[in-house]
Amino acid sequence: MLRLYKKLSKKDFLFVFLIVGLTILQVYLTMTLVDYVQGIIKAITLVNYHNNPADISKDVALFLETIGGWDNLKEEALILAGLPNEMISQVMSIKNATQADIWFNGGMMVAVATASMGVQAIISILASFVAADLSTNIRTSLYRKVEDFSLEEIDKFSTASLITRTTNDIQQIQMANLFTMRMIFQAPVTAIWALCKFHSAASELTIATVITLLILIVIIAIIMLVAIPKFKVMQKLTDNLNGVMRDNLTGIRIVRAFNAENYQENKFEKANLVFTKTQLFTGRVMALLSPMMMIIMNALTLTIYLIGSNLINAGKIDYAGVTASTMLGTQLIMAFVMLMLLFMMWPRALVGAQRINEVLDTESKIIDSANPVQFKEEGTIEFKNVSFKYPNGENNVINDISFKVNKGETLAIIGATSAGKTSLVNLIARLYDTTEGEVLVDGVNVKDVKQHDLREKIGFVPQKGFLFNGTIKENICFGSDVINDDEVIKAANVACVSDFIQTIDNGYDFVISQSGKNVSGGQRQRLCIARAIYKNPQIYIFDDSFSALDYKTDKALRENLKNMENNSTKIIVAQRIGTIMDADKIIVLDGGKMVGFGKHEELLKSCAIYKEIALSQLSEKELGL
């Protein structure tokens, strides 16, 4: 947690110092309030004795009647009567007691209580600001860190866990720090101040209070030792619960198509039950604190009254002092009760901080070179003896592949499922790094240039088309600082999606739902292609991006791409022969190995696997065999 405090700004630290100072002031006002409570009790008692001398003793009442009342009572007469100085002082206090004393102490009580409330409100506002600022800074750092992660790190933590860490874990830290700044300083200051006042009143009361506090601390420590391990488990269970919920919502169409609602519900119930049981356990353990606090607070009050009554009889303290001591004891226990609430929050906050630091401490395996170089060519891609396997994978998914694509050429990649097609194109955009060999873009190893500069050259259309929540125009212009309406329309025309846009309400301002669930698969693919075209890159990568298109649209779209003015290089991953047969070069992959490379006509003669794929889709006549 201490490491996360580095995220605080100078203004936040200033506010923390103000909170410390205001907390001391607030405790001072609380203790002053106790003094005025003691004062008003004394004033009421003295006024009562002044008005009813018989309540003191019959002898005093008779004596006052003899001398004509309090006004005729002189301190010299009491001295001549041989009364002790302490008793003389008490008698003179009764003589001088007036209703004004009650009103003064009562007024000061109201003033001090109001000031204390105001100071507490300021502390709460400052603490809220600091806690919110801390959580904002942590969330920003976490987001930027995750944004820099390669796919390897994201897979390591899982999407559900990263979402939990960015939301739930940070919320736990915010709440814990909010209560910390409000309570952590108040409890010890109150304890020290109260114990000093106890000691000044009577040492016996100090001993009783210290013993009570020690018992309280031992109870809290035992409960925390039992609860903390479960709090660690709860955060992982939260990840699991979020993961199940996310899978269910993301794959709701599949769930319904397979009538798997009960199956998914059982998965959720299982995760929810384990989470609930753990939460109930920690809740029950922490629930013991509240009754324990009440028992201890009442026990301390009874102890103060018991000891106080004996001290009153011994003349060491008065009733007002006992009452004030009771208030002090209550304030002291309440401070520790609030501290108890803090102890309830901190275990989960510490776990959350640990989980956040795990993310912040994780370095991306894909980083920019310390000395980035400039590109030497334009629109070229070259693989030199490239092999690749996924992190923690046992075998290579790509083995010793070499080829080169020149500017303006179209390279097609085809092969069976799991042949390594997507893995290969992911290496071009450096979503993963090669295990062996080099990938060169524009004559430079992709590891030697800035990732931003590399990806600025590439228009990537992934295998799974993904649209963001927002308008069609915003999706096509995604990542661009400036929206050019003419270029948006041009990109839509090239992607053969303009006809669809013109038929819907609001046209380019039509709002796409998250992930593009309110458009068809073909429409989603074409919008993703339009997004890449709007970027106007030097290199296009289409990872099986024509699979949802009919043959007519497929052909028209490829013709539009071919006729584009920028003479860009195109990488097309496809399963259909019709999509790739016009490509300048075709790579045939099988089990991660390149088993064929050349034009369509050449591969029909030289590559048996390519011919087999072609004949499975088209007749010999259509293929010209």
User: What's the pLDDT tens digit per position in 330-379?
Assistant: 777 777 777 766 766 777 787 788 888 888 888 888 888 888 888 888 88
pLDDT surpassing 90 at residue 624:
no
Angstrom CA distances, 270 to 133, 236, 242, 249, 324, stand at 37, 14, 13, 17, 55
The model's pLDDT over 408-427, given as tens digits with 9 standing for 90+, comes to 899 999 988 888 888 899 99
Classify strands 381-388 and 436-441 as parallel, antiparallel or unpaired.
antiparallel
Tokens describing residue 490: 């041009």
H helix and E strand count, the chain? 25, 12
State the pLDDT confidence band at 28, using cuts at 50, 70 and 90. Answer: confident
Mean pLDDT, the chain, as a whole number? 82
Q: Please give the Cα distance from 619 to 575 (Å, whole number).
A: 16
Q: Is 401 helix (H, G, I), strand (E, B) or coil?
A: strand
Q: Is 65 helix (H, G, I), strand (E, B) or coil?
A: helix
Helix (H) or strand (E) holding 381: strand 381-388
Better-scored residue on pLDDT, 385 or 349: 385
Give the other-Cβ count within 10 Å of 350's Cβ: 17
Fold of 2-361: ABC transporter transmembrane region fold (1.20.1560)
Q: Where are the domains of the chain?
A: 2-361
The model's pLDDT over 80-118, given as tens digits with 9 standing for 90+, comes to 666 666 666 777 777 777 788 888 888 888 998 899 899
pLDDT surpassing 70 at residue 528:
yes
Angstrom CA distances, 243 to 158, 247, 359, stand at 9, 6, 18
Classify strands 381-388 and 398-405 as parallel, antiparallel or unpaired.
antiparallel
Phi, psi dihedral angles at 388 (to 5 degrees): -155, 140
